Amino acid sequence: MSVLDLARADIRALAPYSSARMEARGGSVALNANESPWPPPGDAGATLHRYPDPQPAALVQRLAQIYGVRAERVLVGRGSDEAIDLLVRAFCRAGVDAVAISPPTFGMYAVCAKVQGAAVLEIPLRADFTLDADALLARLTPAVKIVFVCSPNNPTGALVPLATIERLAEALRGRALLIVDEAYIEFADAPSAATLLDRYEHLGVLRTLSKAWALAGARIGSLLAAPEVIALLRRIMPPYPLPTPCVDAALTVLQDGGAALVRERIATVRGERTRLAAALPSLPGVRAVLPSQANFLAVRFTDAAAVYADLLRAGIVVRDIRRYPGLADALRISIGTPEQNDALLAALAARREAA
């Protein structure tokens, strides 16, 4: 059985849009894309009047090198959100198929499914917010075409062990795609699920440059998957997903010097995460700090609403995650610079004095 047998038949048969940039390359006079023949004012590189490559070769090759996969396994798009949407549209028929998620988790899995008209099967995390693989596999139905696993999980921060991911991959062979979202994996002390790609053609891994690589504004994410899956998604992907300035910014950051700086910053984030996790429990109103392998901490408070408001008055914005199941008393706090983290701790300590 091919992994494409899980995809929608109409998508497999779809003739993709063929853009001018895909149809012809080379030549010194480009008159095939209805572009302006003149660059805009201020365009020093004289490239912005031309459509960008749909999958820029230099960026794809560099990401493949960083992620340890072959280039044909890489699809780049506008953040990993775009890959989530493409996967659901390609593999889930409206009103027929479903995705499986383990809440509390990243909300875009369910949003993309609902926009597509696919059902959402929820298999909650355990009480300690670890993935319950037994419950997940026991509750899966034939309608489920994609299982999303977020590791480290957002918003709780727990890592899913690679052995658990491999167990799921074995069990889902021929049944459903397993998509592991590793938006925060750089902050974890663990190998990527991409190390399993050669053994499981129905496995996909989501990566992003928005977090550790500090390129949230450039909106560049990747799906690492079987070449057949990458080719299928390109059929339904918009023809020019990545703006040229975003690609240029990514290539600059992804150079060896930029990569070395990113490693230093990741080490700082890990150290600050440890420091905050140790300091927060002694502060007023803090009930618990959830273990995290990401660049944030989910923190339980006796009065999360009051803490949120007090921090906001102090000029500090954190994430209110009380709407998530099991987290009605929690806020998510991103790890900032040491100075920003000092300001957070000081603001929380000041609540004791105010009381």
Asked if residue 36 belongs to a domain, the reply is no
Name the pLDDT band for 27 (thresholds 50, 70, 90). confident
Residue 46's pLDDT band (boundaries 50, 70, 90)?
A: confident
pLDDT of 163-219, one tens digit each? 999 999 999 999 999 999 999 999 998 999 999 999 999 999 999 999 999 999 999
83 and 191 housed in the same domain: yes
Q: What value, to the nearest 5°, has the Cα angle with vertex 42 and ends 36 and 44?
A: 90
Amino acid code (one letter) for 285:
G
Same domain, 68 and 205: yes
- Band (pLDDT 50/70/90 cuts) for residue 354 is low
Shared domain for 166 and 230, answered yes or no, is yes
Q: How many CA atoms lie within 13 A of 134 on its CB side?
A: 1
Indicate if 288 and 343 belong to the same structural domain: yes
Contact 129, 156 (CB under 8 A): yes
Q: Are residues 225 and 302 in the same domain?
A: no
Q: For residue range 94-149, list pLDDT tens digits in order.
A: 999 999 999 999 999 999 999 999 999 999 999 999 999 999 999 999 999 999 99
Report whether 50 contacts 29 (CB < 8 A): no
246 with 263, same domain? no
- If asked whether residues 56 and 197 sit together in one domain, one would say yes
Query: First CA to last CA across the chain, in angstroms?
Result: 65
Q: 230: Cβ–Cβ under 8 A, 6 or more apart, which residues?
A: 72, 73, 74, 75, 223
* Cβ contact 129:150 at 8 Å: no
End-of-domain residue from the set 254, 281, 307: 254
Among 186, 245, 241, 219, CA closest to 81: 219
Choosing from 220, 254, 288, the residue where a domain stops is 254
Q: How many Å apart are CA 147 and CA 3, to the nearest integer?
A: 14
CA–CA distance, 282 with 287 (Å, rounded to integer)? 9
pLDDT at 66 > cutoff 80: yes
Read off the pLDDT of residues 238-268 as tens digits, 9 standing for 90 and up. 999 999 999 999 999 999 889 999 999 999 9
Predicted local distance difference test score (pLDDT) of residue 17: 87
Domain of 78: which CATH number? 3.40.640.10
The domain containing residue 306 runs over which residues?
259-354
Residue 117 lies in a domain: yes
CATH of the domain at 323: 3.90.1150.10
Specify if 171 maps to a domain. yes
Identify the DSSP state of 76: E
Return the DSSP state at 320. E
Domain assignment present for 41: no
**239 with 278, same domain?**
no
Are residues 139 and 176 part of one domain?
Answer: yes
For residues 147 and 224, membership in a common domain is answered with yes
Give the residues across from 286 on adjacent strands: 301
How many domains are contained in the chain? 2
Confidence of residue 329 (pLDDT cuts 50, 70, 90): very high
Phi first, then psi, for residue 208 (nearest 5°) are: -145, 155
Indicate if 197 and 111 belong to the same structural domain: yes
User: Percent helix, strand and coil across the chain, each rounded to 5?
Assistant: 40, 15, 45
Looking at the fold, whether 325 and 347 belong to one and the same domain comes out as yes
Question: Which of 254, 276, 292 marks a domain boundary?
Answer: 254
Strands 119-122 and 144-150, sheet pairing: unpaired
Q: Is residue 17 part of a domain?
A: no
Distance of alpha carbon 177 from alpha carbon 300, whole angstroms: 34
